[in-house]
Structure formats: C-alpha cells, structure tokens
Structure 1
C-alpha cells in the first residue's frame, strides 16, 4: 500500500547520523542524498522494497512532528527491537512510552519499542512473533 514515508528535519546532518545508526540495525545502508532545485537536501533510505526519506522542509518553515503520528519499522526479533531502541537513544533519540518489550493485547503478542528522533518524530520498532 505504501511507497514511501518522508519526514522533515531541522538539521539534516544530525538526522543522517541518527538514521544511519538506527536504520543500520535493520540492515539499511547509506542513504542516497538529493538536493532539489530550491536547495533542500533529502536523504532516501531504501531497503527491502521500502523507502524512508528525511528532508529539509521545502516551504522553508521549521520541521515539526505531527501529534498522533508514529512511524513503525519491522524488526526481525525481540533482540533487534532492543538493539534498535538502544542504538537510537545512543545516537540522539529519546525513549518514550514503556520500555522495549513484549506487549499482549487484542492484536496478539508483539514486541515493541518507542523513541523519538532528534526532531521529535515518534518511531516504533515492531516484531510479531511466529
């Protein structure tokens, strides 16, 4: 259903350092960088058929996180959930919600972690066992 997700950044180099480390845990490599005609830099991380992009806002206004927005990344194991969280926090992210771990609910068991990136965007790691 989705082709890509793009979020804004107020410091593209800080975002690149953060996402290189965090998405490296999931197997993503260096992003493709693109500078558009009006001078904004965009980073494109492509992995397993998905594209995640970080961009300086085209309208020149500050990037702001959206209330209610969460970006979820698939993880391969409970251990990768923990590593994804720990690497993100070690590289400028901030823990939010409960600590990484198993959650039981009406959608079945799943391992989750939540953190915000340096611009305040809420990120989730998710692994559904079995």
Structure 2
C-alpha cells in the first residue's frame, strides 16, 4: 500500500492505493513530463530488474513496464539529463547505470561512485542541471 500526503503536516494521507508487490523497491518520478511525480517500482525478475511505472496517483495502473539492470541491483530514479522526464537507473555494488529513456532503456551513462554497501541517494544537490547521485554510509 502507498500512502501519500500533499502537505508537510500531520493528519491522514491524502491518497492511499495499492501499487506493486511485496518486496518491490519503490521509486518516484515524473515519468511523462507533466510536472507531477508518480510511483514506480523495481522488481527482480529472473536475472533482470523489471520496472513498473504509473502516471496517476488517483487511478494508478501500469503505464509502462520494462527490463533494465540485473535482479540484484538497487533501483534509483532521476532526471539525469535535465529534460523534465524522470528515468530509471540502478546501483550495482559501487557501479551506477543510468538511462535517459523508459521506452527502450539502455545505459546512457555508467560510472563508479561510493562503496558496495552504500545506500543510493539521488537529487539536485547544487542547482545544476539534472539529477545527481549520492550515497548514505
């Protein structure tokens, strides 16, 4: 179950819905460039990571599904190229693989950062263009 709050206040959730399955890793982004963040999940499937994205927080249904990365990867999301569309990526050990397309995803960039056991973080840290990566150790 997903519980969303439209303000930074106490109280009940403004939106509650089911999306994904137990064991999925939730990610968030503006997948269609409409200015609204919606939910996505990464799920190990065989030897790969399958992503499921939705474009609605009111009537969430799968708007897109595709494979990217390996089953043991940690899913991440961001607007890596500052085009107003969020796309996915994965962290594998201390390697990052990011794509600029959720339609035919292939690694647009890959690099090493952090340590294998670090938790991935993504955000706009310096008002630069696009989303950058970070880690929590």
TM-score bracket for this pair, using the shorter chain length: under 0.3
Higher strand share: 2
- Relative contact order: is structure 1 or structure 2 higher (C-alpha 8 Å, sep ≥ 6)? 1
TM-score, normalised on structure 1? 0.24
TM-score, normalised on structure 2? 0.23
Higher helix share: 1
